[in-house]
Structures are given as C-alpha cells and as structure tokens.
Chains A and B, each alone.
Chain A
Amino acid sequence: MRKITFAITGLFFLVILVVSSSNKWMKKITQYRYYTKNVLQSSRLQYGDMYWYGYLPDFKNDFLKEKTDIVLDKCNSQRLIHLYCIGDSYLNHPLLSDTFFCGVNKLIIKRWSDDIPLKTELDTSQINVLLIERTERFLRGISLTDYLNNIKFIRKDKNAENDSKEKIDESVSVGFFTNEKLNEIFKDIFNKNINQNLEFNLFDYEIFNPLKELKAKLNYELFGRTDKIVTLIPGHPYHFLSSTVDPASIHSSFMPINDEQVSQVVATLDSTYVYYRARGFDEVCFSIIPNTVSIICPDYKPYNNIIKRVQDHPELIMPMINIYDSLKTARCQVFYNSDTHWNTNGFNMWANEFNKFLVKVGKVKNNPYLGRVSEVPPYFFDKIYEAIPAGLLRTDSLAIQCDGSIDLINGLLVKPENITSGKLTVDGWLAVSAKEGIVPEYIILTLKKPGEPLKYIITKRNQREDVKLAFKQPKLINVGFNAIIDVSKLNGEYALGLAWGYHGCLQQCGQFNIPIKITEYKGSE
C-alpha cells in the first residue's frame, strides 16, 4: 500500500515537472488560465500583473468587473488595408479583431515574444501596412536585426528562393544538437523558466492569495520592501515596474540618454522603415507606448524624455503614432494602478490616434499618382538620402550593365519634359541577374546633379508577373519597384539612375542615366 501511495505521489510530481518544463504545454495552460472564469483563473490578468508580482492587497483591481467598451472615432474608409502588427501585450484587448481598426479588413499580429518569425506573403492588391509597437522601456538596446527578424517574406512561387538575409537568419538558430526537434526537447528539459512555471501551476490560485497578501503586507509594513519587480512611489497610488524607475536600468525612464544614443535609436528605426518599405509594405509606422511612470510621475527623477526626443528627431523618417501627448494630457485615468498596461481609456485613445493614420494611408494609396505634392501627406513619400542609411549597404562600386528597366516616370511611358508638380513617381524593375533569377534586396533610385552629392531613394517593391514570364524565372516576380519622391525642394537638371543592393553591396547600373528637369515647386501651379 505504501509503495502504491509513493508511486502515485511520485507520478504526480513527475507530471508537474514535465508539464512545467514544456514550453508548448505551458503556452496552452497560460492561455487557458489567463482567460478562464473558473477557479483555475490566474490572478495575473484578473487583478493586474503588478498585483500578481507584489500581492499588496491595496492594489487589487478586479478587471473582470471593468468595462471594456471602446468608443472609436467615426470611420468611412473602405476596408482595403491588411494590417500587420509587431507588438506586445499592449495590443491585447478583447475587442481587437480583423475589422477593429479603420479601413482594415485583415489583422495579423506577431508578438515580440514569439520566437518564430511571422511568415507572410503580401497581397499587393491590398494596402499593406505594418505597425511596430514597442514600449518605451524596450526602446533602447534593440539592434536592427531584432526589428528585421520578425517577418519572413514568402513568395507566391514555391520554387522561389527567399532573400539571402532571411536565409542567414535561419542559420543563426544554433543549439546543443543540429536537429531542431532535438533542440526543442532539450530546451524543454532544461527550461530556464521552470521555477516561474511551477509557481504558476502550483500556487497561482485565488485560494493562496490571502497568504501571499499577508506576506506582502508584512514585509511592506515592517521592512518597506515589496517584490523587487515592483516599486511604489510615495504619493502615487500606482505600482510601477522597478526596471522603469531604477535609473541604473536600461529600461528606465530615468536612465540618462545622450543625443548620440537617441540618434542611434532613430537610425535603427529609419533602417527598419526602409527595410520593410523595400519589401513591399505600402506604409510602416511605429508607436512607442510610454512607461507608466513617464506619464504618472515623470518628476520622480530627471526624466530622459526619450519618446519626445525620438519623435521630434530631425533625422526620423519612420512615421510615428504619437500617443505620449494624448496620454499626458488625458483627464481620465489611462493606466491601471495594479498593472503595467494602460486601461481601456488608454487603449481607446491610442486606437483613435492610430486610426487617424490609417485613414490617411487609405486615402493616398487609392491614387498616389494623382495630385500635386501638397496633396500627398509627407510620410507617404520615399525619403531622399544623401547617404545610404547606416548598416544596410556598403559603399558604391563601379557601374555595370544591369538587367532592368525604368518603365514609367510620373505615370508616363516617355520621360517628362519638365517636372513642375513637386512630385516624381518612378516605376520599373531591376534584377541582379535576370538569367539566373537573382532578386536584389534593395532597389535604389539615384538622382545626380553635377556639383552635388548623389541622392538615393530606396524604392518599395511590387510584383511583376510580366518579367517572371518573359525570363521564365519564377523568382523574378519580385523585381518590380516603385517610388514616390518629393522633389519640391529640388531645382535643375538631374540624371535619374538605378542601383541595386545585394549581399550588403551597392551596385550602380551604368545604362540608366535619364535626364530630367525639375522646376522648384512654388505651390501655385
């Protein structure tokens, strides 16, 4: 009898160990326990993640009783947008669906926490918009590859090869074994999160909360200590995430940041923008979600003001969804006091702000070739660079003959005599080798004027069925490009050229040297 009892108890603990080690199982269990309404519900989403860490009873909100209604601004746009989001838990809202945002008919969300990149094929008949949402605390110390590795672009044709960049990314996953499945099993067996998982599976139940609250209260009242993840600031009825408050932490609102570091963040965002635009997104935008402490008590210590400094940076080309100002001036509570996240009010404000952006994108995309420069919002233009953004391509080499063509300039088959609208649009295609079906990573337009530095415009990608068929190379479907350039500040005779970027090198194409005359746009024509 004793042996049977021992065996059953041993089995129970084995099951607990195995389940808590398995990432797959834990994902399922957490998803279930976060959203279930029965006794198994985790306190994390019910009462707030900061309560869940600190267990201070004074900071216990029952989210189940909170209203989740959202009042969105009126939206008359046609639903033509495929919205891709790279984001985190701030985008978690029960109402969020494919048609939640203005003009959006399909919503695809990729979480930062997902190890596997989102595999997608952009539907060029739709407006493809990418939103990158990042919290203020994770804005620093993020490399360009962290931004670029989130989406893996697949091609219509199964035989087509993916970009070389993506191939490199795949080969990066190195583990104990060469076999990926074995690596997964190995990772599970020696799961680094096992303690948190065990705690979650064994003790994260309502029944244990009184005991946890007693401990938290005792330690706070006696020793003034809370869980190290949580910080309380006297006079503010909020739980703050310690890493956002501690000036020594890179996630902190109070860790000083100099102008050079701000420029680095901006350069990374710009390169991200160029990368995703070059891969076919009609628009890419970025949203920084402020730390709670940056909104509630930025005077606690000298605030580094990173959000404003990035958003107002003169070099920034990445369109930003500015929520900081709205949250700052909000008259209602926008963050939970027992959670790191914004409440429904905060999310509602952000959604409206983002919708304004989507409305603009939808309108312009309907006919980007029409209209003068003043009728197109500035963010819709492809930026003119005096130099290629850092980290993307190496310097020029000698010009060669390329496979490609500039088909349309301002929508016309023949070159325009004089560009007076302040807007230059260019369409065409370019391959590294049409015969071998090698597609460049970047297709770049150049504008050359004697006595001035060469100007670069990184184009957006589109599909060219005709090129694919003409060369009988399925890979060539992705060699199309187009660019909309604001030339209102330019004046004089230029030579329009073309170059491609591949394997980190920039190659000028010698045969493209189309003279165009640009007249400075006065705004009256």
Chain B
Amino acid sequence: MLFNSLHFLIFFIFVTIQYFVTPHKWRWLLLLLASCYFYMSFVPIYILILGFTIVIDYIAGIYIENAKGKRRKLFLILSLIANIGVLAVFKYYNFLNDNLSFLLHGFGWKNPVPLLEILLPIGLSFHTFQAMSYTIEVYRGNQKAERHFGIYSLYVMFYPQLVAGPIERPQNLLPQFRVKHKFNADNFKIGLSQMAFGFFKKVVIADRLAMAVDYSFANAENQSGLSLAVSAVFYSFQIYCDFSGYSDIAIGAARIMGFKLMTNFNAPYFSRSISEFWKRWHISLSTWFRDYLYFPLGGNRMKNHRVYFNLFIVFLISGLWHGANWTFVIWGSIHGVLMIIERKFNTFWKTVNRILNKNIISLFRIIVTFSIVTLAWVFFRAESSNKAVYILHKIFNLSLIDTIASPLNNAELLFSFLLISLLMCKERCFSYINMRNNLVFVFYIILISLCCYFFGVFDNKQFIYFQF
C-alpha cells in the first residue's frame, strides 16, 4: 500500500477514525492489525520475517534485562546476529555470492553456491534497525524491556513509519503507545498539513522529476552532458522530495493520532558542509549510526587517524545499508572520504569564514556542498558503477551544443525548475507556517490539494527508499 494511493487514503481515514472511537485498552490491537494489513498489502508472506525478528527481539529484550554480566552481552549478540542474519540472507546473500563468483572466476573456478531467488522484503533495513535499537537500548539500561508483546510488536510495526522510517528509538515511541491520545484539533491541523505537503513533494515534484531522471539514466548514451547534469540535479530533488515526502506523510499521519515521531529532514540542501548535510538528511539513520556504531567505535575522542577510520567505516556501512550493490558502497565511501577531508580542513574553513563576508561564503559553501552531494547521488542512482562513471564523465565534458532529450517538454522542464525554486523558498522563508490559525490551515490544505490533483503525477510510483 503506497502512501500516494487512494487505498492508503481510505485506509488511513478509517484507521484514524477507528483509533479515536476504540477504547484505549484496545487501541494497540487496532493499530497492530492495521499495521499487519498495511505491510501484508505489499507481499503478504514477508510478514513472517517481520514476525520472526519481533519474536526474537521481544524475548531477547526480556532476557537481556533479566541477565547479568556476560550473559547480558551474550543475549544482545544473539539478538543482533538474528537481525543481521535476516538482513544478510535477504539483502546481501546474492550480492556476496555474486562477488564470490567473480573472484573464483578470476582463478578459473566455478562458484558451487547457488543464488537465491528471493524478493527483498519491503523496508527490511528500516524495521530491522528499529528492532536492533530496542535491544541495544535495553542492554544499555536506557529502556525497560517491553513485556506486552502486542505493544512491542507495534513498536516495530507501527504502520506510518514501518517501511521507510523515521527509524524510531524505543524511549520515544514505546511510551506513546500507553498514552491515551484524545482527538486534538492542533495535532489534526499540524499533522494534516504536514501530510499534504508530503503528498505534494511526492506526487507533484518527485514523480514529475522522476520521468526525466528515469529516462536520462536509462538512455545515458543518447544524452548530452548538459542533459545529464540537469538530470543529476533533478535526481537530487527527486530523492529528497520522495523520501522527505514519505517522512512528512508518516510523521503527519502519526501526529493526527497524537504520536510524535522524530524529525527526519531539515532543509538538507541548505547545508554548508557535508557534515552539516548529514545532520539534516535522514536524521533518524545518521543518528542511529552515530549512537550505535560511531560512538562505540570511539567516536571523535580518539586520535585523528582513528577518527578518520571510524568516519570512513560508518559511511561505508551506511552505503551498504542502502543496498547490496557496489554503487551504494562507492556512494557511502565518497561521503566517508568527504567527511575526512572536511575534518582535516576544518581550521581552514573557519579562517576563511572569519575573513570573508559570511553571507557570500555561506552561499558559496551551500552551492559547493549541493554540487558534491549531487555528483555523489549519481552513484546512488546509476545501475552500475561503470554507468555512474560514464555519466559523470559526460557531465564533466559538458556539451552545450547537444539538445536536451527528455520526456518533459520545455514548459514542464521550466515548471519543474519553478517547483524546485518554490520548494527551496518554502524551506528557507516559510519553514514554519502557523497551522493553528483556521483560515491559514484551510487555505493551505485547499491550495495543496488542488496542486496535487491538477499537477500531480499519479502513476503509483513506489517510494525510492522502500527498496531499502
């Protein structure tokens, strides 16, 4: 069930209304059933995998809490192995096997291990990470083990954020399932307006840009350098609008029911550095890696070379988290290297900032950061690393003579740039709109709804991050 579908809209209205009608003690059951239905509407059988990790982590949480000393660690490790094992089988098995075949082929041997014909369960990396954060927090003593199996299941399966985050922490989400939420007009208005803007970002901007991007990346050979450069920029905004649109809908949908999920994006393309970008982009994942990988590795309290190593490892794994493909590994590595370089020249930037006009230098840094992020996205989007290199090569040999080939006509290309400008303008100048004011709220909802209806691209395009 895609968020940008009529099915979701009706489902959401029904579940939300039912949520407020249902007595508090049964609300967890309603949400759990709704979440099961939501997840099963993609590929029903994969509910079993989700069920497996839920049972393992539920038991592990209780055992970790009850155990002492080394046994605590043992139960944590067992739970992590189960979670990572599921990820390894469904997400990385074929990737590793492919690479093994490639290696063995180099020695003239044949790989005897067969490939698995399996589909990647939707949102596997998201709910696995959310489940892992629970057992880690219980182990650290920051979270009490949840004894109510239904509520724990709901923590992993809560439908708004089940398939593409935000990856929640148990301390934030679990207690909210026990709170008796009453219908609140402010929550309704704030949540609905956030959902509406999420829909707008997805169906009006992301899916429109996707038409040009998909075409360019699929036919890179017939595209001019300029056309590919435009497509790369479009992809930056497509992925942003697609993913942040999803997060907005998720956060908004939860908010209407009274749940407050963590912010996942904060105008990332206004970042002045890569490190700032990662503080604004997919915040729930970057903080997950920070808390559960970077800090345990020693963080930045170590010597420089060790900090660089930690940074690189974190971004490498972050790349791999996104997908079992070398393109993601390279994309993660690029960000890792950029973080290291940025850290190394930190003092230089501080000096430049002091000397030059702050506004000019800020703008310059925003443009440079955006350009670098955009070029790195090429690896993220391309089917293979070779193709990504080919596209980048063409982009750097900008040929202005070639025509821009695109399924969008000139008017729609201009319209796309206008939409991007409007988005940036909204994020910069109108990041907060007072939705508590009824007039503003009604006007905003009508305007967004009309834009979505008249200019939305409704071809049931999946959210990009569903594949992770």
Q: Which residues of A contact B (CB under 8 A)?
A: 2-3, 6-7, 9-10, 13-14, 16-17, 20, 176, 186, 189-190, 194-195, 198-199, 202, 211, 214-215, 218-219, 222-225, 228
Contact = CB atoms under 8 A, between A and B. Distances in A.
Contacts of B6: 195, 198-199, 202
List the 10 shortest-distance A-B pairs measured between CB atoms, nearest first: A10-B17, A13-B14, A223-B412, A198-B6, A10-B18, A224-B409, A6-B21, A194-B7, A6-B17, A195-B7
A211 B14 CA distance: 26
A315 to B, nearest CB: 36
B10 interface: yes
Interface string B152-178: 000000000000000000000000000
B117 interface: no
Contact of A13 (B10, B20, B44, B411): B10
Do most interface residues of chain B lie in helix, strand or loop, or is the interface mixed?
A: helix
A199 B9 CA distance: 11
Given A6-B20, A14-B14, A198-B7, A190 B412 contact: no
- Tell which of B14, B45, B183, B415 has the most Cβ of chain A within 10 Å: B14
B41 interface: yes
A14 B412 CA distance: 39
Interface residues of B, number: 27
A223 B45 contact: no
Nearest to A14: B14
Given A9-B17, A194-B7, A176 B454 contact: no
Contacts of A189: 37
Given A16-B10, A190-B44, A223 B408 contact: yes
B415 A223 contact: yes
A222 B412 contact: yes
Contacts of B460: 195
B9 to A, nearest CB: 8
B40 interface: yes
Interface string B18-43: 10110000000000000001001100
B44 A195 contact: no
Given A199-B6, A223-B411, A186 B14 contact: no
Contacts of A222: 411-412, 415
Contacts of B411: 222-224
- Tell which of B17, B40, B408 has the most Cβ of chain A within 10 Å: B17
Contacts of A194: 7
B454 A215 contact: yes
A188 B408 CA distance: 38
Contacts of A195: 5-7, 460
A179 to B, nearest CB: 15
A186 B40 CA distance: 11
B13 interface: yes
A219 B37 CA distance: 35
B390 interface: no
22 contacts: A6-B20, A6-B21, A7-B21, A9-B17, A10-B14, A10-B17, A17-B10, A17-B14, A176-B44, A176-B45, A190-B40, A190-B44, A194-B7, A195-B5, A198-B6, A198-B10, A215-B454, A219-B454, A222-B411, A222-B415, A223-B411, A223-B415
A218 B147 CA distance: 56
A10 B409 contact: no
A215 B10 CA distance: 22
- Tell which of A9, A17, A223 has the most Cβ of chain B within 10 Å: A223
Contacts of A199: 6
Contacts of A10: 14, 17-18, 21
Contacts of A17: 10-11, 14
- Tell which of A20, A189, A195, A214 has the most Cβ of chain B within 10 Å: A195
A371 to B, nearest CB: 58
Contacts of B18: 10, 14
Contacts of A224: 409, 411-412
Given A10-B14, A190-B40, A198-B10, 14 more contacts: A6-B20, A9-B17, A13-B10, A13-B17, A17-B11, A189-B37, A190-B44, A194-B7, A198-B7, A202-B6, A211-B453, A223-B408, A223-B411, A228-B459
Nearest to B8: A195
- Tell which of A14, A186, A218 has the most Cβ of chain B within 10 Å: A14
Contacts of A225: 412
Interface string B37-66: 100110011000000000000000000000
Interface string B375-417: 0000000000000000000000000000000001101100100
B417 to A, nearest CB: 14
A13 B13 contact: yes
Given A17-B14, A195-B5, A195-B460, A215 B453 contact: yes
A16 B13 CA distance: 12
A38 to B, nearest CB: 24
Contacts of A14: 14, 18
A259 B5 CA distance: 43
Nearest to B6: A198
Nearest to B2: A195
Nearest to A214: B454
B43 to A, nearest CB: 9
B315 to A, nearest CB: 38
Contacts of A223: 408-409, 411-412, 415
A211 B411 CA distance: 22
Nearest to A17: B10
Nearest to B45: A176
Interface in B130-189: 183
Nearest to A4: B21
Contacts of A215: 453-454
B312 to A, nearest CB: 42
Contact of B454 (A7, A13, A186, A218): A218
Contacts of B454: 214-215, 218-219
Contact of B44 (A9, A186, A228): A186
Given A199-B6, A223-B415, A3 B40 contact: no
A23 B285 CA distance: 41
A219 B409 CA distance: 11
A224 B408 CA distance: 8
A20 B1 CA distance: 14
Contacts of B10: 13, 16-17, 20, 198
Contacts of A3: 20-21
Contacts of A198: 6-7, 10
A190 B40 CA distance: 7
A439 B315 CA distance: 68
A194 B409 CA distance: 32
A440 to B, nearest CB: 37
A202 B13 CA distance: 14
Interface in B102-152: none
Contacts of B14: 10, 13-14, 17
B16 to A, nearest CB: 9
A341 to B, nearest CB: 24
A295 B359 CA distance: 64
A373 to B, nearest CB: 55
A190 B41 contact: yes
A218 B415 CA distance: 13
A382 B150 CA distance: 68
Nearest to A229: B459
Interface string B449-461: 0000111000110
A186 B10 CA distance: 19
Contacts of A9: 13, 17
Contacts of B44: 176, 186, 190
Contacts of B7: 194-195, 198
